[in-house]
Amino acid sequence: MTYSASPVELVYQEFASRLNGFVLRRVRNKELAEDIVQDVFVRLVSADIDSINNISGWLHQVARNAIIDRRRSAQRRELPTEEVPEVGIEEEDDAAIWDEIVACLQPFLDGLGEKQREALEMTELGTMTQAEAADEVGISVAGMKSRVQRARRQLLNDLQECCAITVDSRGRPIEWRSRNT
């Protein structure tokens, strides 16, 4: 009796090493890379391998998605309750601060094109998702995303012209001062 490898085993033999290198370059942690590659091949076992046209492309896309999922889940981990510092801002104060920020941004918002301003006000400053905003104005979600991105970019450029802004490692502003003072 001869042993014949399954299609998944053949794919593993051909792609596992390269896929591991691909993932390792992105996560820079050997154990995590191995876990992600294992997850990719577990997904392959449950997939209809015969319907996958480009197996290499499929494996790399699933790996990219798994890397993103791992990063998101790492960001979502919360501190235990006893380690969370008390913040002295009540909800009403938070709303007042938000209103003050929006009031400060208003001249910059007014400088945006009408469509960009509307997109930003509906999504970033409002409560709508980009999909809801797209539906509201009758454009595609991709079109709304494009408007929001252009508006953000223009707003950032305008703010950087008048203010020196310090951001944290995730690009969020943590300090700013006027360039005119």
Please list the residue range(s) of the chain that carry CATH number 1.10.10.10: 105-178
pLDDT at residue 59 in the model: 93
The sign of the dihedral angle between the CA atoms of 38, 43, 45, 50 is negative
Whether the pLDDT of residue 29 is over 80: the answer is yes
Please list the residue range(s) of the chain that carry CATH number 1.10.1740: 7-76
Decide if 45 contacts 85 (C-beta within 8 A). no
pLDDT tier, 97 (very low <50, low <70, confident <90, very high otherwise): low
Q: Which residues of 17-48 are buried (b: 16+ CB within 10 A; e: fewer)?
A: eebbebbbebbeeeebbeebbebbbeebeeee
d(CA 153, CA 146): 11
Is the pTM value of this prediction over 0.85?
Answer: no
Q: Which CATH number fits domain 7-76: 1.10.1740, 3.40.50, 2.40.50, 1.10.3470?
A: 1.10.1740
d(CA 83, CA 81): 5
Whether the pLDDT of residue 70 is over 70: the answer is yes
pLDDT at residue 163 in the model: 75
Region 50-77 average pLDDT: 85
Tokens representing residue 34 in the block: 């191995």
The CATH architecture of the domain made up of 105-178 is: Orthogonal Bundle (1.10)
